[in-house]
Structure 1
Amino acid sequence: MDSIKLFKKTTDIISTIFLYVLLLALVVGMAKTFLDIRFILFESLESGFNHMVTSVLTVFIVIDLFKAFVDYHENDRIKLTDITDATILIVLREIAVGLYAQKLGYEFVLSLATLLLVLGIMRVLAVKYSPVKTQESYISVPREEQPSKISLSAVFDKYGLTHENN
């Protein structure tokens, strides 16, 4: 058996296992989020919202990681935008948890803000200089020009239709 085929088969099996694990984590995360409603009902509102925000943001992180693994499983490549999105969500989760717990110092908040700025710049650059977009820019495909705005009478005149003004 060829080593490249073996590598491909192994990575397919591992990514499939990760997809099932992430799907299980997503289901468990949703169940935990629904169970956290009891904190709002039976404990303080502040504590309940802390649990809810943490659970919901964690589920969003798992969804984003699930999306990245599905994309890898289908296309055999990891998109930088998916990874930066997941990392941004993780940082935002940490900020939200720290703010609700009121345990963040200004140094930590400043470092997370700097990290968010760098990740945001990286995300914008990854979209702007995407390999798919650069390949498309080399291919010139003629496009139909679309007028920005056309009046209704101009459309009727163009197609020889008559319209009546009431």
Structure 2
Amino acid sequence: MKAHYKIFMIDQDKIFKIIIDLVTIIILYILLLSLLVGVANILLSIKSILFGTLGGGFGQIVSSVLTIFVLIDLFKTFVDFREHKEIRITYVTDATILIVLREIAAGVYIQRFDYPFVLGLSILLLTLGIIRALAVKYPPKP
């Protein structure tokens, strides 16, 4: 009788692994598409600056390039997760540092910084830098 019940038992770990694999594959394809669209957008921005067709500017290109770097780091994080089934703190901190740097670059070009905002970003960058350094110096044991 017990063998009969084993046929109908659902292996929850296997279902969870399949769903996680499907979600990460979908996210990887979305990130890949976003990278392609982002690069095309940068090329169109450069073309518009060279030929003077649209307003935009250098700040927009810098912000777009930094956004591409963020997407590349996220892509790296998901590929690493698919291969090793863990998320490395260094990839996450790298992506977060790039996001903060992108905000700084965008703010510099439109001159929208005030004192508390700059102080907050500075503290955030310092904290992320310390976390990144500690994660490299003391990697998790396998």
Where relative contact order (Cα < 8 A, 6+ residues apart) is larger, the structure is: 2
Aligned to 2:25: 16
Alpha-carbon distance, 1:4 to partner: 0.9
Instruction: Return the alpha-carbon distance in structure 2 between the equivalents of residues 53 and 86 of structure 1.
Output: 16
1:49-68 to structure 2, matched below 5 A, reads 49-68=58-77
* Structural RMSD (CA): 1.6
Kindly provide the amino acid, as one letter, of the partner of residue 109 in structure 1.
V
Aligned to 1:115: 124
Alpha-carbon distance, 1:107 to partner: 1.1
Whether contact under 8 Å (1:81, 1:126) holds in the other structure is: yes
Alpha-carbon distance, 1:38 to partner: 3.1
Over 6 Å off, 4+ runs:
none
Aligned to 1:139: none
- 1:36 counterpart SS class: helix
Instruction: Return the alpha-carbon distance in structure 1 between the equivalents of residues 18 and 44 of structure 2.
Output: 39
Alpha-carbon distance, 1:9 to partner: 0.8
Unaligned stretches of 5+ residues in structure 1: 136-166
Please give the TM-score of this superposition, normalised by the length of structure 2: 0.88
Whether contact under 8 Å (1:39, 1:51) holds in the other structure is: no
Change (3 A) 1:130 1:31: same
Greater Rg, structure 1 or structure 2?
1
Aligned to 1:160: none
Instruction: Return the alpha-carbon distance in structure 2 between the equivalents of residues 120 and 58 of structure 1.
Output: 19
Aligned to 2:137: 128
1:76-115 to structure 2, matched below 5 A, reads 76-115=85-124
Alpha-carbon distance, 1:40 to partner: 2.2
Kindly provide the amino acid, as one letter, of the partner of residue 130 in structure 1.
P
Residues 108-158 of structure 1, C-alpha deviations (whole Å, 9 max, x = no match):
0110010000000000111111114xx5xxxxxxxxxxxxxxxxxxxxxxx
Change (3 A) 1:110 1:44: farther
Number of aligned residue pairs: 132
Unaligned stretches of 5+ residues in structure 2: 1-9
Instruction: Return the alpha-carbon distance in structure 2 between the equivalents of residues 110 and 40 of structure 1.
Output: 33
Question: Percent of pairs identical after alignment?
Answer: 55
Instruction: Return the alpha-carbon distance in structure 2 between the equivalents of residues 30 and 98 of structure 1.
Output: 22
Aligned to 1:153: none
Kindly provide the amino acid, as one letter, of the partner of residue 126 in structure 2.
L
Kindly provide the amino acid, as one letter, of the partner of residue 22 in structure 2.
I
Aligned to 2:4: none
Kindly provide the amino acid, as one letter, of the partner of residue 128 in structure 2.
L
Kindly provide the amino acid, as one letter, of the partner of residue 50 in structure 1.
G
Instruction: Return the alpha-carbon distance in structure 2 between the equivalents of residues 92 and 108 of structure 1.
Output: 13
